[in-house]
């Protein structure tokens, strides 16, 4: 018992046995003071290691988001036109820009992000309609890659929890699409 009391005195916990009623409260405060100190010491390596993981993750993300190649396409349907630029990334995903100019409705301009699944490119098209409307829309698109061309497909879309997607089990029709994109030279 004497060694335990000496241990407690070493860490600033002094006991006065003549005041028994305050002994438990004082002991609790001493333990909590030391626990806080020890926990703060233990968290320092954890914080340092999290920072190291974050740096490694950033390097991996940077390497995967590196543009491997760029492709550009143009499509014309009567008086409506569309321009598509695709960045093929090291990760296998794609991103880029899509501009659709409708003669009657104005333009839909935005970005695409997605990936190829076989010969079909599935992307999310995030865009604004015209220049006055500030609302941002996000719709799924599917392009069939055939003979160097991209054919925009038409499919049934559902929205659930604020996210639009093609309905599973319903076919995407590439013979009904308005835009057939032909390869063109990219303008930077």
Per-residue pLDDT tens listing for the chain (188 residues):
556 666 656 655 555 554 554 666 665 666 666 666 666 666 666 666 655 556 656 655 555 678 899 999 999 998 999 999 999 999 999 999 999 999 888 899 999 999 999 999 999 999 998 878 788 989 999 999 999 999 999 999 998 888 888 999 999 999 988 899 999 999 86
Sketch the domain layout of the chain as residue ranges. Answer: 2-64, 67-184
Nearest-5° Cα angle at 59, 57 to 62: 110
Q: Does domain 67-184 have CATH number 2.40.128?
A: yes
Q: Is the dihedral of CA 42, 46, 47, 49 positive or negative?
A: positive
Nearest-5° Cα angle at 186, 183 to 188: 165
**What pTM value is reported for the model?**
0.66
Token readout for 188 is 């930077």
CB atoms within 10 A of CB 182: 12
């Amino acid at each position: 018992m004497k060694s335990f009391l000496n241990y407690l005195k070493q860490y600033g916990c002094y006991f006065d046995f003549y005041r028994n009623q305050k002994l438990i409260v004082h002991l609790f405060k001493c333990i909590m003071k030391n626990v806080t100190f020890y926990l703060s010491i233990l968290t320092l390596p954890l914080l340092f290691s999290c920072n190291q993981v974050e740096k490694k993750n950033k390097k991996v993300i940077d390497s995967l988001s590196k543009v491997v190649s760029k492709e550009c396409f143009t499509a014309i349907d009567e008086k409506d036109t569309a321009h598509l630029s695709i960045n093929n990334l090291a990760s296998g995903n794609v991103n880029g820009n899509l501009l659709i100019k409708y003669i009657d409705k104005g333009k839909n301009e935005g970005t695409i992000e997605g990936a190829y699944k076989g010969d079909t490119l599935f992307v999310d098209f995030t865009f604004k309609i015209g220049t006055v409307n500030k609302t941002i829309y996000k719709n799924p698109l599917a392009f069939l890659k055939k003979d160097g061309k991209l054919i925009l497909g038409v499919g049934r879309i559902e929205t659930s929890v604020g996210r639009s997607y093609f309905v599973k089990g319903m076919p995407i029709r590439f013979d009904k699409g308005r835009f057939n994109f032909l390869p063109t030279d990219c303008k930077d």
